[in-house]
């Protein structure tokens, strides 16, 4: 994954044991496609090759999550939606929990790649912040945010799920920390705050906004979108002053 021209390794985040089939992030460097090898297989990340069975099961899982939510999701419903025997889910993924976590991990890495590529652009930081705010609505519409928030809630009472979700989120906070580092170099130091502390506040702000938006909170009640975008105007002012 690219950020500010450097390749960021995901090795610092341990892969959960459920993640047997996860395709690693899409990585491009200097306009050249990289080939990722995992478990003896060579995959073109641009093609993102998976077996048809795995793809169809993950897509069916996403459809069922949209329709029934996490509590109403079952491997039987997924199998029926995919028009496959239930044994295919058990063979490829294992349990319902493993299936949902595999879907979340795959979608998470794709979006993390997208976010890193966006922040790697040679644009003013405030414009990249604006794009991040645009992505919020995209991710709400795609269903990713709902899956993430559902699994976060499930993790409150399931330590295994909690650990897996924390590992996925750590990639976002690592990215935000690098962005905060760049902001400190390009604009100015942020008083007593360290880069990882700024990343914590920004990440928590987006996660909290996502949860409230999923609850149906309107801008007239709590101006979440407007507040996030307003922060971009502060960045813009700081960049102009610099």
The CATH number given to 2-50+93-241 is 1.10.357.10
CA distance 103 to 142: 13
Domain ranges within the chain, ordered by starting residue: 2-50+93-241, 51-92
Q: Has residue 8 got a pLDDT over 60?
A: no
> pTM for this one?
0.72
**What is the structure's pLDDT at 130?**
96
Instruction: Output the pLDDT for position 52.
Output: 82
Residue 70's pLDDT is 79
Please state the rounded mean pLDDT for residues 160-184. 93
Which pLDDT score, from 0 to 100, does residue 31 have? 37
Q: What is the mean pLDDT of the chain?
A: 79
- Of 197 and 184, the structure prediction assigns the larger pLDDT to 197
Inform me whether the pLDDT recorded for 90 exceeds 60.
yes
- Cα(19)–Cα(29) distance, rounded to whole angstroms? 25
40 vs 11, 14, 30, 43, CA distance in Å?
Answer: 18, 19, 26, 10
Residue with tokens 């590992």: 167
Q: Is the pLDDT assigned to residue 203 strictly greater than 70? A: yes
240 pLDDT tier (thresholds 50, 70, 90): confident
CATH class of 51-92: mainly alpha
């Amino acid at each position: 994954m690219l950020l500010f021209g450097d390749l960021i390794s995901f090795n610092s985040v341990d892969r959960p044991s459920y993640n047997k089939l996860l395709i690693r992030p899409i990585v491009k460097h200097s306009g050249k496609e990289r080939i990722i090898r995992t478990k003896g297989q060579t995959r073109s990340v641009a093609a993102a090759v998976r077996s048809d069975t795995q793809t169809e099961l993950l897509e069916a899982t996403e459809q069922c999550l949209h329709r029934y939510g996490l509590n109403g999701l079952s491997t039987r419903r997924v199998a029926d939606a995919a028009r496959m025997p239930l044994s295919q889910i058990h063979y490829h993924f294992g349990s319902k929990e493993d299936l949902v976590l595999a879907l979340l991990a795959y979608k998470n890495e794709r979006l993390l790649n997208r976010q890193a590529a966006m922040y790697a652009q040679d644009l003013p930081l405030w414009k990249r912040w604006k794009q991040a705010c645009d992505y919020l609505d995209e991710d709400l519409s795609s269903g990713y945010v709902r899956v993430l928030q559902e699994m976060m809630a499930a993790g409150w009472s399931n330590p295994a799920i909690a650990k897996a979700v924390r590992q996925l989120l750590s990639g976002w906070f690592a990215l935000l920390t690098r962005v905060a580092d760049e902001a400190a170099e390009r604009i100015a130091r942020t008083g007593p705050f360290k880069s990882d502390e700024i990343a914590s506040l920004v990440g928590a702000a987006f996660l909290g906004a996502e949860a409230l938006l999923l609850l149906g909170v309107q801008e007239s009640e709590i101006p979440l979108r407007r507040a996030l975008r307003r922060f971009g105007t502060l960045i813009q002012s700081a960049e102009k002053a610099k």
